[in-house]
A and B are shown apart, each in its own frame.
Chain A
Amino acid sequence: ETGVTQSPTHLIKTRGQQVTLRCSSQSGHNTVSWYQQALGQGPQFIFQYYREEENGRGNFPPRFSGLQFPNYSSELNVNALELDDSALYLCASRLRQGPNTGELFFGEGSRLTVL
């Protein structure tokens, strides 16, 4: 039990729709990152938020966007869904106290299926 909770656990959308995934970080953690994990592959970094600002982004298009709230919960929004967006989306939080610090705590993920 990491203290990071994600919702929903599973959802099905159709191509072209929009989806919002939610994450509640572990208490006291000020940094959250999101990952996409396709079946049989390692997690791919989408972006990271620190104190409500995006401060790192992987190779994902702008239709992937996020928010971090003052209580450090966060959202991942994906617009214009494509079939290849079907994946497990993982949220991870940590307490950032300096560069390269802070163990990541992952949630169990939201599994998105796009039909």
Chain B
Amino acid sequence: DAKTTQPNSMESNEEEPVHLPCNHSTISGTDYIHWYRQLPSQGPEYVIHGLTSNVNNRMASLAIAEDRKSSTLILHRATLRDAAVYYCILRDLNDMRFGAGTRLTVKP
């Protein structure tokens, strides 16, 4: 199984950008890179996904390395509501396998 490696925790100040890294050195050519986040006492929610090119949406940006062995989720201006566990996942055909994720703390 392709696996991802993320830091256990990160801290950010409110209204500053946050870069959440993810390593996935065993990624296959057909794996999509997905990011989900889980706010306290809620189920995970979709953030963004990509295959090869960088992606932007209203929530975040995803920067994918040229060799696809790593990626970075970018929150442009962190808010207190962004405090959550962020999961970087390689999407297989029939399932989505979560790792332990990165717990992001946002300080006012």
A58 touches B44 (CB 8 A): no
Query: How many Å lie between the Cα of A33 and that of B92 in the bound state?
Result: 13
Q: Does A66 contact B (CB under 8 A)?
A: no
Residues of B in contact (CB 8 Å), total 24
Given A99-B30, A100-B30: A107 in contact with B94 (beta carbons within 8 A): no
Least Cβ–Cβ distance between B36 and chain A, in angstroms: 7
CB neighbours of B46 from chain A (8 A): 103-105
Q: Does B67 contact A (CB under 8 A)?
A: no
Q: Does A62 contact B (CB under 8 A)?
A: no
B93 touches A109 (CB 8 A): no
Contact of B100 among A42, A100, A108 (CB under 8 A): A42
Query: How many Å lie between the Cα of A45 and that of B100 in the bound state?
Result: 13
* Interface positions of B from 83 to 108, Cβ below 8 Å from A: 85, 87, 91-101
Partner-A contacts on B (CB < 8 A): 30-32, 36, 41-46, 49, 85, 87, 91-101
Closest 3 pairs between A and B when the two form their complex, measured CB to CB: A56-B94, A106-B43, A42-B98
